[in-house]
């Protein structure tokens, strides 16, 4: 078993939205949890030397480079954070694993399923820890949902409904960018759907059958000046699913949903009650128990607090609330547990591949217009 107190050398590739999240997590994991060695922030990679140097100074990394190959081969680095656009995940992750590094890669695995398979194989061959950035499973509220279901609070679950909506592409005048290109994947199906699928998988297991419809609300987007470029991905998708054990589930995702900012809604209906959750109110869970006096039945709001670990590692008082970046810190701690050979709550490359199977089966379903088995 690895020494959980041995400091790890960290390399970070990419410093956009998720790159900054990773950097914040690496910087915060020691002061938040206390029971781990402070990671050594060794090397940061960006597209130019000047930009990399500036970001390294901002994020607290000792050195910088514009060559990601140099980063993954650097002997001072033990674990590589990959936060680049989706199309680069496979090549970078496989190279890092072959170089003997642990990998923390943002979701999804890769636009091409063959590349996702290769990533899983590389992880198995390397013997290193390789996990994906599914931080929503780390929310203390979600952990409470899992506990309630596991303890039978709503009886036998028989239907799950999930949604994920944002409005960052709702404006037709939003310029074309990499998420509109086919090189990024299918669109909302793998950019968004993978997150609620990670929650469903963690609670109920893998998807076995799927029926999918996708839509493209805007055929073109501005591409500089008066030019327009054809959109190559679908911003909306609806899925019907059967999970292992025959459980019924549905999922709707939309990147053009005006007014929705970061919504992942999960509804679980069971034989003795229901559970409702909305990521825009990420510190709350609603629980309905079909018991007692019917005149007094109703949804009870559970507000997370120190009694829902690891909330207590951040804030000693209930009701103050955790945020998105806090979930990334928890994910970082779970990654360190996995590297130390301890039990950890992570989405491994093997787990992630099952999510990818569901996504690619959904895409095939859209092509053929019918139900598809998830193979």
Residues 149 and 215 in one domain: yes
SS3 144: helix
Residues 239 and 357 in one domain: yes
C-alpha torsion angle, residues 191, 47, 17, 199 (rounded to 10): 40
SS3 5: coil
Q: Would you state the pLDDT for residue 284?
A: 98
Q: What is the pLDDT along the chain (375 residues), one digit of tens a residue?
A: 344 567 999 999 999 999 999 999 999 999 999 999 999 999 999 999 999 999 999 999 999 999 999 999 999 999 999 999 999 999 999 999 999 999 999 999 999 999 999 999 999 999 999 999 999 999 999 999 999 999 999 999 999 999 999 999 999 999 999 999 999 999 999 999 999 999 999 999 999 999 999 999 999 999 987 889 999 999 999 999 999 999 999 999 999 999 999 999 999 999 999 999 999 999 999 999 999 999 999 999 999 999 999 999 999 999 999 999 999 999 999 999 999 999 999 999 999 999 999 999 999 999 999 999 999
Residue 44 belongs to domain with CATH number: 3.40.50.720
- How many domains does one find in the chain? 2
Distance of CA 290 to the CA centre of its chain: 33
Distance, in Å, from the CA atom of 239 to the CA atom of 363, rounded to the nearest integer, reads 10
Residues 82 and 144 in one domain: no
pTM: 0.94
> In the listed set 109, 132, 155, which residue is the last one of a domain according to the structure?
132
Residues 76 and 207 in one domain: no
Residues 194 and 51 in one domain: no
Is residue 2 in a domain? no
Is residue 3 in a domain? no
What kind and span of H or E run contains 22?
helix 17-33
Is residue 70 in a domain? yes
Residues 150 and 78 in one domain: no
State the angle between helix axes of 17-33 and 49-59 in degrees (0 to 180), rounded to the nearest 10. Answer: 30
8 Å CB contact between 123 and 103: yes
Residues 188 and 240 in one domain: yes
Q: Is 320 exposed, middle or buried (0-12, 13-18, 19+ CB in 10 A)?
A: middle
8 Å CB contact between 54 and 20: no
Is residue 235 in a domain? yes
Q: Determine if residue 150 is left, alpha or beta; phi over 0 gives left, psi from -120 to 50 gives alpha, anything else beta.
A: alpha
Beta-carbon contacts of residue 171 (< 8 Å; ≥ 6 apart): none
Residue 309 belongs to domain with CATH number: 3.30.360.10
> In the listed set 108, 132, 156, which residue is the last one of a domain according to the structure?
132
Residues 189 and 93 in one domain: no
- Range of 40's domain? 9-132
Q: Would you state the pLDDT for residue 232?
A: 97
Query: Of 142, 66, 134, 68, whose CA–CA distance to 105 is shortest?
Result: 134
CA–CA–CA angle 81, 87, 93 (5° rounding):
35
Residues 316 and 345 in one domain: yes
Residues 100 and 151 in one domain: no
Q: Would you state the pLDDT for residue 210?
A: 98
Peptide bond into 245 cis (omega under 30): no
Is residue 1 in a domain? no
Residues 84 and 175 in one domain: no
Residues 180 and 101 in one domain: no
> In the listed set 132, 156, 191, which residue is the last one of a domain according to the structure?
132
Distance, in Å, from the CA atom of 153 to the CA atom of 147, rounded to the nearest integer, reads 9
Q: Would you state the pLDDT for residue 118?
A: 98
Residue with tokens 């607090």, as numbered in its chain: 305
8 Å CB contact between 109 and 348: no
């Amino acid at each position: 078993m690895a020494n959980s107190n041995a400091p790890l050398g960290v390399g970070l590739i990419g410093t956009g939205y998720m790159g900054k999240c990773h950097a914040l997590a690496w910087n915060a994991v020691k002061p938040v949890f206390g029971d781990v060695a402070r990671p050594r922030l060794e090397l940061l990679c960006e597209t130019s030397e000047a930009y990399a140097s500036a970001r390294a100074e901002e994020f607290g990394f000792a050195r910088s480079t514009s060559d990601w190959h140099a980063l993954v081969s650097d002997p001072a680095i033990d674990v590589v954070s990959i936060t680049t656009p989706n199309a680069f995940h496979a090549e970078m992750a496989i190279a890092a694993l072959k170089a003997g590094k642990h990998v923390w890669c943002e979701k999804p695995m890769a636009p091409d399923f063959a590349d996702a398979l290769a990533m899983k194989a590389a992880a198995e061959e390397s013997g290193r820890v390789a996990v994906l950035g599914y931080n929503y499973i780390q929310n203390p509220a979600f952990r409470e949902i899992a506990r309630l279901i596991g303890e039978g609070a709503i009886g036998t679950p028989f239907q799950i409904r999930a949604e994920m909506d944002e409005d960052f592409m709702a404006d037709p005048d939003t310029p074309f960018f990499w998420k509109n290109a086919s090189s990024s994947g299918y669109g909302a199906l793998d950019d968004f759907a993978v997150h609620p699928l990670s929650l469903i998988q963690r609670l109920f297991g893998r998807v076995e059958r799927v029926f999918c419809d996708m839509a493209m609300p805007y055929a073109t987007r501005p591409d500089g000046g008066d030019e327009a470029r054809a959109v190559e991905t679908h911003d909306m998708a609806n899925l019907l699913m059967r999970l292992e054990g025959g459980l019924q589930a549905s999922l709707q995702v939309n990147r053009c949903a005006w007014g929705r900012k970061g919504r992942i809604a999960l509804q679980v209906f069971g034989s003795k009650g229901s559970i409702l959750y909305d990521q825009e109110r990420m510190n709350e869970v609603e629980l309905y128990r079909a018991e007692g006096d019917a005149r007094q039945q109703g949804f009870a709001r559970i507000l997370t607090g120190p009694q829902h670990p690891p909330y207590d590692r951040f804030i000693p008082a209930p009701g103050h609330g955790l945020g998105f970046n806090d979930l990334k810190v928890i994910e970082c701690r779970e990654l360190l547990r996995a590297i130390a050979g301890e039990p950890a709550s992570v989405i491994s490359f093997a787990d992630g591949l099952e999510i990818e199977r569901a996504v690619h089966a959904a895409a095939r379903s859209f092509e053929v217009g019918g139900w598809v088995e998830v193979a």
